[in-house]
Amino acid sequence: DGGITQSPKYLFRKEGQNVTLSCEQNLNHDAMYWYRQDPGQGLRLIYYSQIVNDFQKGDIAEGYSVSREKKESFPLTVTSAQKNPTAFYLCASSAVLLSYEQYFGPGTRLTVT
Amino acid sequence: GNSVTQMEGPVTLSEEAFLTINCTYTATGYPSLFWYVQYPGEGLQLLLKATKADDKGSNKGFEATYRKETTSFHLEKGSVQVSDSAVYFCALSSYYGGSQGNLIFGKGTKLSVKP
């Protein structure tokens, strides 16, 4: 089955540690996205990527970094510089950049204490 | 800039009741409009979409009509089921107004359907 996988589903870290969230897709999509979701809030775009080795900042990129070394993979690193990292993180992909039809993974809930 | 406003929840209904979730938007140009649904503990799924004025999107008994004159895209369903309990997000995509075509989401409306 084609889709997007994110791992792990739940992640716990101590304050001051960097943590990397995994996102893999086998839909052969060119574009991939990372969103952050907070309780009672909509989704906010962190980073997006159109092609391998290229990515752009979204609305809330500070304290995050990404890489796109393979078409299938778009990992997100939450650095210690992110002031409020506890949130639900969603990865998505689409066939072309900025296509409205984005497909979402199941998400990773990160808790930093 | 572009934005989406949807009614605050939670919305609690009895099974077979009629559902309306209001959504209005502000956008430059001619946006496309969407409803996404998020079931507990899961990612978002595209529920329906409309790409131009007067289009009606429909799926799984849900429908929404793109109303340019009122800048609205209200979600409706005639008879809800317990399995419809989820959070519903209204969203838009426009290549104008600073959004560069990215999806702009509302804050979500939580729907609970009681048997």
- Tell me: the pLDDT tens digits for A17-44? 999 999 999 999 999 999 999 987 788 9
Q: For residue A100, give the nearest of B4, B45, B103 by CB distance.
A: B103
Contact A105 B106 (CB under 8 A): no
A81: exposed, middle or buried (C-beta count within 10 Å: 0-12, 13-18, 19+)? exposed
**Ramachandran angles phi, psi of A93, nearest 5°:** -145, 160
Question: How confident is residue B89, by pLDDT bands cut at 50, 70 and 90?
Answer: very high
User: Do the Cβ atoms of A104 and B45 come closer than 8 Å?
Assistant: yes
* pLDDT > 80? residue B99: no
Q: Which of B71, B75, B64, B58 is nearest to B111 (CA)?
A: B75
Contact list, A100 vs chain B (CB under 8 Å): 32, 34, 49, 51, 93, 103
**So what's the pLDDT on residue A6?**
95
Determine what percent of chain A falls in helix, strand and coil, rounding each to the nearest 5: 0, 50, 50
Least confident of A12-16, A24-28, B26-30, B65-69: B26-30
Query: Which regions of chain A does DSSP assign to beta strands (E)?
Result: 4-7, 10-13, 19-25, 31-37, 43-49, 56-57, 64-66, 76-78, 87-94, 103-104, 108-112
Q: Which of B98, B46, B87 is nearest to A102 (CA)?
A: B46
- The minimum CA-CA distance between A78 and chain B, rounded to whole Å, is 19
Averaged pLDDT for residues B21-43: 92
Contact list, B42 vs chain A (CB under 8 Å): 106-107
- CB-based contact, B103 to chain A, within 8 Å: yes
